[in-house]
Amino acid sequence: MDKYPVGLLARTQYFRVLKSVWNNECQKFVLDRMKASTGNLKPVIIVNDETKECTCVIPNENLTGFNKANDTHTKILCMKVHTIADYMIKKSRIQLSNKSISQKQKEIDKLIE
């Protein structure tokens, strides 16, 4: 899996992912990205598709799994991501729809307006 799954985005300070996407395959993908470059060692903010609540996990020291984080820095990151959770959920649903690429782009553009 070379391509990021729909619902997973890498940002400068964190990875952002929908809870519905955060399965074993996605976790392995993120860990592989972290192993590929030390600059990719960062928290993962998980957005609940239903409640829009955010939780944060950080990689363990061996880069074999994740531990829940609840420090001040990650709480602030969760607050930032929470403000765009609705956009992220809607965009992912559009991307996964059966619409044409041009129609998907039009709908995503409408979300930004």
Q: Tell whether 104 is covered by a domain.
A: no
Q: Tell whether 110 is covered by a domain.
A: no
Domain count, the chain: 1
pLDDT level of residue 93 (50, 70, 90 thresholds): confident
Q: Tell whether 113 is covered by a domain.
A: no
Rounded to two decimals, what is the model's pTM?
A: 0.87
Share of residues in the chain with pLDDT > 90 (%): 62
Question: Could you report the per-residue pLDDT of 39-80, keeping only the tens digit for each?
Answer: 789 999 999 999 999 999 999 999 999 999 989 999 999 999
Q: Tell whether 52 is covered by a domain.
A: yes
Predicted confidence at residue 1, as pLDDT, reads 46
Q: Tell whether 54 is covered by a domain.
A: yes
Q: Tell whether 53 is covered by a domain.
A: yes
Beta bridge partners of 44: 15, 57
Beta bridge partners of 57: 44, 68
Rounded distance between C-alpha atoms, residue 90 and residue 102, angstroms: 16
Question: Could you report the per-residue pLDDT of 14-44, keeping only the tens digit for each?
Answer: 999 999 999 999 999 999 999 998 778 999 9
Q: Tell whether 92 is covered by a domain.
A: no
Rounded distance between C-alpha atoms, residue 94 and residue 81, angstroms: 19
